Amino acid sequence: MHPTVNIAVRAARSAGRVLLRYFERADTLTVSRKGLNDYVSEVDRAAEQAIIAELRGKFPHHAILAEESGHHQGNEEFQWLIDPLDGTTNYLHGFPHFSVSIALRYRGQLEHAVVYDPLHEELFTATRGSGAQLNDRRIRVSKLPGLDDALLGTGFPYHDHRSATPYLRILEALLAKTAGIRRPGSAALDFAYVAAGRVDGFWELGLAPWDMAAGALLVREAGGTVTDLAGGDRFLETGNVAAAGIKVHAAMLKEIAAHLGSELTA
């Protein structure tokens, strides 16, 4: 494992310990609303602080973009993208599906990734050019030739309901052409499950960079394809993303293009 990934793993495990400490009593946490269907608790903040402390200890001059505390200045060639609790709504309801997501981008290129599920002790890691692993075992995306037998993951557009209508059209079309669709509630784990071949593809609208960065590198290093909905590389900018093995990805984009407005594929 790359030394930088080892540091990120330590940071993810530190955050995971914070999350597990409070999970059984999440109903006692102080929760505030950041926006429509968007919540934050003191656990999100404490987990994020644990990650930043680990990263700053080894890389004091790197820039950081974190979900709760925003941008931390530093050498912008190196930027960490952090989601300390991906699946906050699940966590606050006691639904056992959430994760920690950490990625490092160097000169705009995703280099290292960690997605950690502390409840199930599953650690997904990747370094550009070195493949993707689950608990040190190499993982690969599925090799399905199309949508017929595919199980897809997705996430509902809960921040901006203007995209709900085209999203539902896509959902209806893909439901009719696949083996099923799941919406577990942690985008980082959705990407990780694509990388591990547990689901054959994933798409979502309106994600933030910290939701996608680590997972996108996992999928690519596991042999998959990650693009925006127009088939380009601007998913971290647009927030709209599709990830899958090569053939399933092509079939997904074909269906998506037929049902999504041009304003969301730009």
Rounded Cα–Cα distance for residues 230 and 48 (Å): 33
User: What are 157-178's pLDDT values in tens digits?
Assistant: 866 667 788 899 999 999 999 9
Q: Residue 22, by phi and psi: left (phi above 0), alpha (psi -120 to 50) or beta? A: alpha
Q: At 21, which helix (H) or strand (E)?
A: helix 3-23
Res 192 pLDDT > 70: yes
Closest CA to 154 of 83, 203, 194, 96: 203
pLDDT value, residue 244: 98
* Average model confidence (pLDDT) across the chain: 91
pLDDT at 36 over 50: no
Each residue's pLDDT tens digit, 241-265: 999 999 999 999 999 998 876 555 5
What are the pLDDT digits (tens) for 89-123?
899 889 999 999 999 999 999 999 999 999 999 99
Question: What's the confidence (pLDDT) of residue 159?
Answer: 65
pLDDT reported for residue 67: 85
Tell me the DSSP string of 166-212.
Answer: HHHHHHHHHHTTSSEEE--S-HHHHHHHHHTTSSSEEEESS--HHHH
Residue 118 half-sphere exposure, CB side, CA atoms within 13 Å? 25
The pLDDT of residue 70 is: 79
**Which tens digits make up the pLDDT trace of 50-97?**
999 999 999 999 999 998 877 888 888 999 999 999 998 899 889 999
Going from the N-terminus, what domains does the chain have, and what CATH number goes with each? 3-139 (3.30.540.10), 151-260 (3.40.190.80)
Q: Is the pTM of this model over 0.85?
A: yes
